[in-house]
Amino acid sequence: MSLPLVVNGTQRRHLGDANEPLLWVLRDKLGLVSTKYGCGIGACGACTVHVDGEAQRACSVPVGSLRGKRVTTLEGLAWAGPGLHPVQQAWTELNVPQCGYCQAGQMMSAAALLRRHPRPSDAQVDEAMRGNLCRCGTYARIRAAVHRAAQ
């Protein structure tokens, strides 16, 4: 099938199985490799992207469900303006990543949170980020960076 997609503000076309997870379309067909494979079952958050501005697990979203929707990956988070998105800037300033594998998903969840709550409380940060696992344990820096990005 031929499916129109809007990814990072650009019209794209998916030729193939409508049930294919968005994660593999992004990585293997569009070369947007910030989006990572962790668990494949929606449990770790490494593959988090935005669908119409909301955080979604790309491993669990069939590409066929995205007709007329806007997909954003970390590569496109700042596409609407010059420079880095405030979340990307804060992550850089506070040296959040350790191994880095989960951090694109972390930033995408943080950006979706800040869209809903521009000045989140610690409890709101923890609630929004609890589905994004980090085996290096960077959670304290993640929380600090979300607050930095909110300033």
Decide: is 46 part of the binding site for ligand FES (CB under 6 A): yes
- Min separation Cβ 41 and ligand FES, Å: 7
Residues 6+ apart with CB under 8 A from 61: 21, 22, 23, 51
Among 39, 84, 144, 150, which residue sits at the site for ligand FES (rule: CB under 6 A)?
39
- Min separation Cβ 23 and ligand FES, Å: 6
- Min separation Cβ 1 and ligand FES, Å: 23
Among the residue ranges 2-10, 42-50, 81-89, 115-123, the one whose residues contact ligand FES (CB under 6 A): 42-50
Decide: is 101 part of the binding site for ligand FES (CB under 6 A): no
Among 8, 38, 71, 76, which residue sits at the site for ligand FES (rule: CB under 6 A)?
38
Among 30, 32, 44, 108, which residue sits at the site for ligand FES (rule: CB under 6 A)?
44
Residues at the interface with ligand FES (CB under 6 A): 37-40, 42-47, 57, 59
